Chains A and B, each alone.
Chain A
């Protein structure tokens, strides 16, 4: 299957700093990428839908100024957590859909665990 890679897999930062997480589709082009946040014992919560070359669409309750998403190319989307606080500590997962695919299947990255001290 298609491969999606996230980097970094783990990051620890101080409160108030910004952290960037990259999501790359390695062997396919992804016009649409999704960013999820996974809470312990809870489902994956969609944060935003990222479309290449246009502004991301954020889900209700997600602060667009805090979680900056950029999808500059067909293989790369980035999530920047700005001015991170301990409550932002979580597991962030990206997923991508092939631009040529029609089945709706999403391919997931490994996830990035953010810990804000």
Chain B
């Protein structure tokens, strides 16, 4: 079955540190890839997405992710985190534009001021 793995359950960083959150998926065909963020007390919102083209995708708030097909990975990065980035981050994958999204278990990011 298709699955999405996020390797880190909880990441704690100080402000200005660099961030990389891992995401791997198991499906071998064409996929669409997403990162969603859930700030405390708020609903899920899209951070960035990849469908095709340049494998380095830039999203909102300085986040970016790189799709590496050979590694089945779509890691999320940010060069310098801020306290306001404290949130839970979910990687998600779907096959085709109409399919359901399969989510990873999420990674909680805590940024210390």
Please classify the interface of chain A as helix (H, G, I), strand (E, B), loop, or mixed, using the class held by over half of its residues.
loop
> Which B residues from 91 to 107 make CB contacts under 8 A with A?
94, 96-106
From B32, B45, B105, contact of A43 by CB (8 A): B105
Task: Please tell me if the beta carbons of B100 and A49 are within 8 angstroms of each other in the complex.
Answer: yes
Q: Complex Cα distance A34/B99, Å?
A: 11
> Which A residues from 80 to 109 make CB contacts under 8 A with B?
93, 95, 97, 101-109
Please classify the interface of chain B as helix (H, G, I), strand (E, B), loop, or mixed, using the class held by over half of its residues.
loop
Task: Please tell me if the beta carbons of A110 and B43 are within 8 angstroms of each other in the complex.
Answer: yes
- Interface size class on chain B is 20 to 34
- B74 CB within 8 Å of chain A: no
Q: Assuming A103-B32, A104-B94, what are 11 further A-B pairs, CB within 8 angstroms?
A: A34-B101, A36-B103, A41-B9, A41-B105, A43-B105, A44-B103, A102-B97, A103-B97, A104-B97, A109-B43, A110-B43
